[in-house]
């Protein structure tokens, strides 16, 4: 069914006028006849609306810092903030030979009422002492939760003193949950801290090998980066660091030596990508390793950047071998998935990245969106100068990064850079909207009410989102795929990941479970009543 802009009014029938006006700016129906379509994003969710978003603390400690395995990440706050950010994101990490791995630990100051009243700085300092003594990490992060900001504990001063006392880096992050409008603010805060205190903090001037790259915005959910690394290493790339999946403080210190930065998740890490370009002259390339075609395209873009016949040849050899292996398997699953439709609503990049993989299975994404992305993730980076700064954005400190006169080096000549920009997404991300088809819907910060209404009207065959809405939708009889945690499956990236995804999705359609589930409304109406004559009782 074709959905039109006018249909939105009917969909929002329950909303008060003010809410309706607000939400309409966050939803658009793709119309390619319009040169430019604008969407509102990265603004506050209206109180009372059930959003899927998280908080700034989640974005900083949970998303960007959490995967760094040789660090201990201290949660300064009530025990709940520590407990609920403990292993809830599937950023996997292996212990390297002789290396440190604290990923399974939950370390928190467990603030009590007396700490809230009298301050928690002493408790934090004691905890840092204990962590250094018992775990001996390579570095420590301290992340602030809401009450810490409210009572004014100076985590910077405590961390600095601890750093001097123990001679290991103790980094503090003022990422109180209420800063900004979502976890996106936390990404920015973490990016700033890593750039200021970690990246480039080593004496190395040379990369450890040929075709040296960093992989930014890849968090090894369900083992994704291991599959990407398998491919890149076979081709001959030297992976200096991954930010931050299965990575470490020690790896990140070397990141300035790379020749190119790949950006998988633009939303969570574009700040570091930009700062690395400014400080060291390292360009960044937007890649997407979700889906076979996207993986092939990204590998070819990388080869074009390095422009070395041996690398290009090896790239093509690996692509040809992998395609011959995985395409026949994908064909089998395609028979089950073909001609189906999907909703694809995930955090800040997967709502876009997974559309091509769905397409390879013959599944059309008819509604997509992000929980917390910004306008540039929807409309492309050229809108950045037009994005209005508001009070929430100003709440996140900007850091000033300047050219490192000693280490700055243009990795390729400016003319070649300009030439390449016409061919590959170098220092650019065109966003989700240009890839959507006419009549398809883009929704920012989709909420539970709208989820149910869009499902009622568009009846998708599969719903891709997260834990908060998965089971509600599954009880409607619609297969639901968690694209944050992958439903405990994965990897979904690269060639092997595409096959696993295809299998999981096909299993979702064919499981006999659906024969045993009858949603209540299929058997009986939700409400029934009779009209009888009689006295009013109210």
Binding site for ligand CFM (CB under 6 A): 59, 63, 89, 183, 217, 219, 221, 265, 267-268, 346-350, 484
For residues 466 and 483, is the Cβ–Cβ distance under 8 A? yes
3-state secondary structure 35-96: CCCCCCCCCCCCCCCCCCCCCHHHHHHHHHHCCCCCEEEEEECCHHHHHCCCCCCCECCCCC
Closer residue to ligand CFM in complex, CB, 183/355: 183
Given a contact cutoff of 8 angstroms between Cβ atoms, the answer to whether 223 and 229 are in contact is no
Is 58 assigned a catalytic role? yes
- Which lies closer to ligand CFM via its Cβ, residue 349 or residue 365? 349
Nearer to ligand CFM, 3 or 358 (CB): 358
- The number of beta carbons lying within 10 Å of the beta carbon of residue 404 is 14
Instruction: Give every CB contact of residue 414 below 8 A, 6+ residues apart in sequence.
Output: none
Separation of alpha carbons 251 and 68, rounded Å = 9
Tell me how far, at minimum, the Cβ of 220 lies from ligand CFM, in Å: 9
Closer residue to ligand CFM in complex, CB, 63/111: 63
- Record the tokens describing residue 276, joined without a space: 């690395």
Question: Could you give the angle at the alpha carbon of 336 between the alpha carbons of 507 and 523, nearest 5°?
Answer: 70
> Is residue 142 helix, strand or coil?
strand
Nearest residue by C-beta to ligand CFM? 347
From the candidates 41, 56, 58, 303, give the one annotated as an active-site residue.
58
Question: Cβ–Cβ contacts within 10 Å for residue 117, how many?
Answer: 9
Instruction: Say if residues 149 and 176 touch (Cβ distance below 8 Å).
Output: yes
457: CB partners within 8 A, 6+ apart: 1, 3, 7, 11
Catalytic residue among 55, 212, 265, 273: 55
Which of the residues 30, 73, 76, 187 is marked catalytic? 187
Nearer to ligand CFM, 440 or 484 (CB): 484
The nearest distance, CB 217 to ligand CFM, in angstroms, is: 6
**Min dist. Cβ of residue 486 to ligand CFM (A):** 9
Q: Which is nearer to ligand CFM, 219 or 280 (CB)?
A: 219
The percent helix, strand, coil of the chain (3-state, each to 5) is 45, 15, 40
Let me know: does 490 contact 221? Beta carbons within 8 Å.
yes
Closest distance between ligand CFM and the C-beta of residue 484, in Å? 4
Q: In what order do the strands lie in the sheet with 260-263?
A: 238-244, 212-218, 260-263, 284-286
* Eight-state DSSP code of residue 435: G
* Residue nearer to ligand CFM on the CB measure, 67 or 137: 67
Structure tokens belonging to residue 536 = 């009013």
Give min distance, CB of 358 to ligand CFM, in A. 15
Tokens of 240: 């200096």
- What is each CA distance from 443 to 95, 310, 335, 454, in whole angstroms? 40, 44, 30, 10
Compute the distance between CA of residue 526 and CA of residue 503 in angstroms, rounded to an integer: 35
Cβ proximity to ligand CFM, 100 vs 484, nearer residue: 484
In this complex, which beta carbon is closest to ligand CFM, that of residue 348 or of residue 460?
348
CB of 113 to ligand CFM, least distance (A): 32
The residue (of 89 and 448) whose beta carbon lies closer to ligand CFM is 89
**Shortest distance (Å) from residue 308 CB to ligand CFM:** 30
With the C-alpha atoms ordered 446, 447, 451, 454, is the resulting torsion angle positive or negative?
Answer: negative
Q: CB count, 10 Å around CB of 523?
A: 7
- What lies within 8 Å, CB to CB, of 321 at 6+ separation is none
- 158-165's contacts with Cβ under 8 Å and 24+ in sequence apart are 158/121, 158/124, 158/125, 158/128, 159/128, 161/125, 162/125, 162/128, 162/129, 162/132, 165/129
Min CB(324)–ligand CFM separation in Å? 30
CA distance 460 to 483: 16
CB of 58 to ligand CFM, least distance (A): 7
The least distance separating ligand CFM from the CB of residue 224, rounded to whole angstroms, comes to 8
Catalytic hit among 89, 300, 407, 448: 89
Active site residue 89: yes
Instruction: Give the residue numbers annotated as catalytic, written as ranges.
Output: 55, 58, 89, 187
């Amino acid at each position: 069914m074709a959905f039109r802009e006018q249909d939105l009014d009917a969909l929002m029938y329950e909303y008060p006028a003010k809410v309706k006006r607000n939400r309409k700016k966050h939803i658009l129906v793709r119309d390619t006849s319009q040169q430019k379509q604008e969407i509102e994003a990265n603004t506050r969710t209206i109180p009372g609306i059930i959003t899927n978003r998280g908080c700034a603390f989640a974005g900083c400690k949970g998303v960007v810092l959490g995967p760094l395995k040789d660090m201990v990440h201290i949660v300064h706050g009530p025990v709940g903030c520590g407990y609920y950010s403990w292993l809830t994101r599937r950023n996997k990490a292996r212990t390297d030979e002789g290396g440190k791995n604290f990923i399974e630990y939950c370390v928190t100051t467990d603030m009590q009422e007396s700490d809230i009243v009298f301050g928690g700085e002493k408790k934090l300092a004691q905890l840092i002492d204990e962590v250094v003594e018992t775990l001996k990490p390579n570095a420590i992060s301290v992340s602030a939760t809401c009450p810490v900001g409210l009572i004014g504990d100076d985590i910077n001063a405590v961390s600095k003193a601890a750093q001097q006392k123990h001679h290991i880096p103790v980094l503090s992050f003022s990422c109180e949950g209420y800063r900004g409008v979502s976890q996106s603010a936390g990404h920015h805060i973490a990016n700033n801290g890593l750039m200021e205190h970690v990246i480039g903090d080593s004496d190395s001037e040379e990369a450890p090998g040929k075709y040296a790259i960093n992989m930014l915005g890849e968090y090894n959910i369900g083992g994704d980066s291991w599959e990407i690394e398998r491919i890149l290493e076979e081709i001959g790339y030297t992976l200096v660091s991954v930010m931050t999946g299965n990575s470490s403080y020690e790896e990140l210190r070397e990141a300035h030596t790379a020749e190119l930065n790949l950006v998988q998740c633009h939303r969570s890490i574009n700040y570091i990508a930009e700062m690395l370009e400014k400080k060291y002259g390292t360009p960044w390339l937007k890649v997407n390793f979700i889906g076979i075609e996207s993986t092939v395209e990204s590998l070819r873009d990388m080869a074009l950047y390095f422009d070395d016949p041996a690398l290009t040849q090896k790239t093509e050899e690996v692509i040809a071998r992998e395609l011959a292996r995985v395409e026949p398997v994908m064909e089998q699953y395609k028979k089950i998935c073909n001609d189906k439709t999907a909703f694809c609503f995930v955090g800040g990049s997967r709502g876009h990245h997974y559309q091509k993989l769905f397409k390879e299975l013959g599944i059309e994404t008819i509604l997509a969106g992000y929980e917390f992305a910004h306008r540039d993730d929807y409309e492309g980076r050229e809108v950045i100068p037009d994005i209005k700064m508001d009070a929430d954005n100003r709440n996140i400190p900007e850091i000033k990064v300047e050219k490192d006169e000693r280490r700055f080096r243009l990795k390729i000549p400016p003319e070649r850079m300009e030439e390449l920009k016409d061919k590959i997404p170098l220092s650019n991300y065109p966003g989700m909207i240009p890839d959507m088809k006419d009549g398809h819907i883009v929704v920012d910060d989709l909420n539970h009410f709208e989820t149910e209404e869009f499902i009622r009207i568009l009846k998708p065959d599969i719903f891709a989102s997260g834990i908060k809405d998965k089971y509600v939708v599954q009880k409607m009889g619609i297969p639901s795929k968690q694209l944050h945690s992958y439903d405990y499956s994965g990897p979904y990236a690269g060639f092997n990941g595409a096959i696993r995804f295809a299998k999981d999705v096909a299993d979702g359609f064919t499981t006999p479970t659906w024969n045993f589930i009858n949603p209540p409304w299929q058997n009986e109406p939700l409400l029934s009543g009779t009209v009888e004559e009689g006295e009013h009782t109210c």
